[in-house]
């Protein structure tokens, strides 16, 4: 099973999420699709386990987290999730197809919710906070798939600077700061979310 999942993840890493099928995986393994169907039943089950394998790569130090405040711990968890998905930039589209429910994903959800509840957030707010943080990570992880290189960003910057100051005065005013690197956007958004949660928690 581990060999099959490793091959499936490698296929996604190399060829993209859309390339993952029972047939393509069987070809990579030099096996038959019937063998795969005995293990997984269907593509959705295969995707569930491939996603969970990635979630299993999210390494969190329990002792270190315990020494942090709830908001600091949430930031560490979110950044670690984003960094892990960043190592598998083509996996994120599979997360759109289904909510992660494998054992590793469930354990991560449990840990994050426990951090929020132990920090004093009421259950309703803790649930919404986790959902917001998880979707923030996922949303930016999906964009990693098409994140441009330095040359593309330079071209985008040149386009902003070339705009008419009369027609686009606001855009021209901030052109020196555009486009914002994706990692910076993620960090800024995460800061805003956690800052907002602090305020809700204190109110």
Q: Which phi and psi (to 5°) does residue 111 adopt?
A: -65, -45
Supply the pLDDT for residue 147: 57
pTM of the model: 0.86
Residues 6+ away with beta carbon under 8 Å from 62: none
Q: Angle at Cα 176 formed by Cα 171 and Cα 182, nearest 5°?
A: 90
Reported as a single tens digit per residue, the pLDDT across 121-141 is 999 999 999 999 999 999 998
Mean pLDDT across 59-65: 91
> What are the domain boundaries of the chain?
2-54, 60-149+177-202
- Both tokens of 101, joined, read 């429910």
**CATH architecture under which domain 60-149+177-202 falls:** Orthogonal Bundle (1.10)
Pick one of 3.10.20.30, 1.10.10.60, 3.30.1370.140, 3.40.50.1220 as the CATH number of 2-54: 1.10.10.60
Reported as a single tens digit per residue, the pLDDT across 64-106 is 999 999 999 999 999 999 999 999 988 878 888 788 889 999 9
């Amino acid at each position: 099973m581990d060999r099959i999942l490793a091959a499936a993840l490698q296929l996604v890493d190399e060829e993209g999420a859309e390339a993952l099928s029972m047939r393509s995986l069987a070809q990579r393994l030099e096996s038959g699709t019937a063998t795969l169907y005995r293990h997984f039943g269907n593509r959705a089950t295969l995707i569930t386990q491939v996603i969970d394998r990635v979630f299993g790569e999210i390494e969190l130090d329990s002792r270190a987290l315990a020494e942090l405040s709830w908001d600091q711990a949430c930031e560490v968890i979110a950044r670690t999730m984003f960094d892990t998905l960043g190592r598998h930039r083509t996996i994120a589209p599979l997360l759109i197809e289904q909510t992660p429910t494998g054992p590793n994903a469930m354990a991560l959800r449990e840990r994050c919710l426990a951090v929020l509840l132990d920090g004093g957030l009421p259950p309703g707010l803790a649930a919404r906070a986790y959902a917001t943080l998880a979707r923030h990570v996922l949303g930016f992880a999906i964009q990693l798939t098409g994140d441009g290189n330095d040359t593309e960003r330079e071209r985008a910057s040149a386009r902003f600077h070339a705009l008419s100051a009369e027609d686009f005065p606001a855009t021209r005013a901030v052109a020196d700061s555009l486009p914002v690197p994706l990692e910076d956007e993620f960090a800024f958004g995460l800061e805003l979310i956690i800052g907002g949660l602090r305020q809700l928690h204190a109110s």
